Structure formats: structure tokens, C-alpha cells
Amino acid sequence: MNLGNTVAELKKKAVVIRENILETIGVGKKGHVGGSMSSADLVTALYFYKMNHDANNPEDPDRDRFIFSKGHSVLAQYAALAETGYFSKDELKKTKTFGSILQGHPEKDTPGIEANTGSLGQGLSLGLGMALGGKLDKRAYNVYVIVGDGELAEGQIWEAIIAANNFKVDNLVAIVDSNKVQATGPIAERYDLGDIKAKFEASGWETFEIDGHNMEEIVEALDATDNVKGRPSVIIANTVKGKGVSFAENKASYHNAKLTEEQYRQAKEDIANL
């Protein structure tokens, strides 16, 4: 595989994913701009590079599993699922409308969604259960879970972190979307967890820290987790809230916001120029 060509293609695909997110949010309808955009590169690498999955066989018992624990950012996952054929891209504009298969948080009834999430702190426990199930069933799949750095304030996540190391679950990979901003402001001013990497290391996890918008670093870290045996892995991805949308970057006010027509056009232009 020519990694250079692969990375170049993934960068182009990440632009498409951001365009899909923007189309999903639209004008005058509240949507989670910040976290969806910050995780877009990570989701792109998972769906278009790393994970074993097939929209034509979504219940394949050997498929890799992905859980968006910070479920409010699911627009990035919807964008990838539509792009890979789990449902029509026409569904994106219907998000959060009555009767739509796409709601504001992940629901199991949606094609390609593995678990209901959105109640923060639960996704890693769900992923741990799936990873343990894979071990018991002697399946070769991996489980990938994206959590938010703000979400790490939830105690249940740390219970899952400790349990995963105890059970030596090496088919579980957590990815921290570390954009440093939660719904109400900077995390350092709201619930400062200090050195996240050191805490995972102290809990027995193999840790990687990367630039979450550098596609080469993302794919290299994902590949490196394949070689970790006897313990779980975590990738701490340093990201920018609202990445790619100039007026939304690093702004808590765009955690969940409506876009005006002018803002929508500006965001579209920003993304096209990435």
C-alpha cells in the first residue's frame, strides 16, 4: 500500500464528510457543529481506511464495531454511513425530523449504528462488552469507541478503563476527541482532568497521542494498535472544536447551534478550501 496516496485520498474524503455534516445541519436547525467537525478526520480514517465493514452485509459477525460514545457528534458518523452506502444521502437533510431514521443521537434502528448513545459516559462500557463478546466467540473483530474529553468527567468511563485493562482486552481501541472545549466553555475551566495520557497509562492502557487532524498520524496510530497485545489501546487525538469552519473553531457557542444562511455559505466556502 502506498500510504502517501492513501492519506491524500483520505484528506479529500474528509472534506466530503465535512460537506455532508454541513448539509445535515442546514440553515436554521440546531446541530452539533463543534464536535462533529472536530471528529470528522477520525471518523473518515475509521470508515474509509481502518474498519472491516460492509454496507451490504451490516450484520456480518466478523465486522469491526464502532461506537460514538459522545453521541451528540453523530452527524460525522451519519455523513460516513451515507457516503459508504448504508442509506441514501438524501436522508441527511431529514435528520432530526419526525419519522426520520436519523435523529440527534445514535439509535440502534439506524443502519450501521451499533448502539444507542448520547447519555455521556456509557459508550466505552458498551464497547468493552462487545470486545469481551468477541473474545468469547473467538471472533477477530476490533471495537473502536470515540469519546469526548469533556465526557471523561463521567465516572463510568473510568470504571470501563480499569475493567478493560483487568480483562486484557486488546481488541478495544478508545479514541479521545480532545478538542478542549465542552458545551459550556473550556474544559480546563469546567472540569480539568489534567494529564489524560498519564491517567490512561497509569490504568494500564497502551497510549498514543497525535494531531487528530493529521491524517498520516491518524492512520499510523490506528495501525499501531493492531500490534498491541494483552491490553487495550487509546489514541488521544488533539483536535479543534469546529475544525474547518472559521467562525466556529474553538467556540463553545457552536457546540450546538443554528446557522444563518450567511454562516452556512461561509462554512461551505471554508470547507471547500481545506
The share of the chain scoring above pLDDT 70, in percent, equals 99
Q: Report CA torsion sign: 162, 165, 166, 167.
A: positive
The confidence band for 80, taking pLDDT boundaries of 50, 70 and 90, is very high
Using the 8-state DSSP alphabet, how is residue 57 labeled? S
The whole-number average pLDDT for the span 192-200 is: 96
Q: DSSP characters for 82-116?
A: HHTTSS-GGGGGGTTSTT-S--SS--TTSTT--S-
Q: Report the predicted TM-score, pTM, of the whole model to 2 decimal places.
A: 0.97
Mean pLDDT of 159-185: 97
Q: What does the DSSP assignment read for 185-208?
A: EEHHHH-----HHHHHHHTT-EEE
Which pLDDT does position 69 carry in this prediction?
98
Q: What is the mean pLDDT of residues 54-65?
A: 97
What average pLDDT does the chain have?
96
Average pLDDT for 154-178: 98
What pLDDT score does 79 carry? 98
Q: Residue 209, SS3? A: strand
> Is residue 14 exposed (0-12), middle (13-18) or buried (19+ Cβ within 10 Å)?
buried
> Which band of pLDDT confidence, cut at 50, 70 and 90, is reported for residue 5?
confident
Distance (Å) of CA 26 to CA 30, 95, 221, 237, 264: 9, 10, 33, 27, 7
Q: Residues in the chain, how many?
A: 274
Which tens digit of pLDDT belongs to each residue from 199-231? Answer: 999 999 999 999 999 999 999 999 999 999 999
- pLDDT tens for 105-141 read 999 999 999 999 989 999 999 999 999 999 999 999 9
Q: Which three cell numbers stand for residue 256?
A: 450546538
What does the domain layout of the chain look like in residue ranges?
A: 3-272
Query: What pLDDT does residue 114 have?
Result: 98
Spatial separation of the C-alpha atoms in residues 172 and 169, rounded to whole Å: 6
- Backbone conformation region of residue 58, classed left if phi is above 0, alpha if psi is from -120 to 50, else beta: alpha
Q: What is the pLDDT of residue 3?
A: 73
Q: Which cell numbers hold the place of 90?
A: 438524501
Domain 3-272: CATH architecture, name and number where available: 3-Layer(aba) Sandwich (3.40)
Neighbour order of strands in the sheet with 206-211 = 65-68, 143-148, 172-178, 233-238, 206-211
4: pLDDT strictly greater than 80: no
What mean pLDDT do residues 54-60 have? 96
Q: What is the DSSP letter of 71?
A: G
